[in-house]
Amino acid sequence: MSANTILSDDDFLSAFNDCSAPPSAFNHEGHVRIAWIHLQRYPLAQAIRLTCDGIERFANHLGAPDKYNRTLSEALMRIMASLGAADTRLSWDGYLSKNRELFKDAQQLLGQYYSNELLTSKAAKGTFMPPDVSPLP
């Protein structure tokens, strides 16, 4: 069990929002869990805003603002939403087990929609860029 699954959803969200979560929580699984929690509780546009703003805030808190990529974060959230992240009948573990592709190779998953050039561009880091390979679901 990872550090990201020990805390309840409310405690994990609170630690993320006030930047008291350990730096180890600031990994891919932690980002996906925060996105999932927001998608469970809010409409898509609000969930995206809360998650992206929070990830950017946490990256800045850790002194790693260059690690934040708005396009990557928002695109993954849109993919997650299409994979049923807002289904409140699914627990976090249930969502994980149904959607392992989110963790196996997120870059490959995003590559279905974005070229590497666009996804890693300076513009994509600061602003959501629409996909250039295939429309997001």
Q: Which amino acid is residue 101, in one-letter code?
A: E
pLDDT averaged over consecutive 10-residue blocks of the chain (137 residues)?
A: 68 93 86 96 97 95 92 97 94 91 87 96 96 97
Residue 46: count of CB within 10 angstroms of its CB? 12
Please check whether residue 134 lies inside any domain of the structure: no
Please check whether residue 136 lies inside any domain of the structure: no
Please check whether residue 132 lies inside any domain of the structure: no
Number of domains in the chain: 1
pLDDT reported for residue 5: 57
- Full residue range of the structural domain in which residue 118 is found: 3-126
Please check whether residue 135 lies inside any domain of the structure: no
CA distances from 47 to 74, 77, 92 (A): 10, 8, 16
Please check whether residue 88 lies inside any domain of the structure: yes
Please check whether residue 101 lies inside any domain of the structure: yes
Q: Which two tokens stand for residue 86?
A: 């807002």
pTM for the full model? 0.90
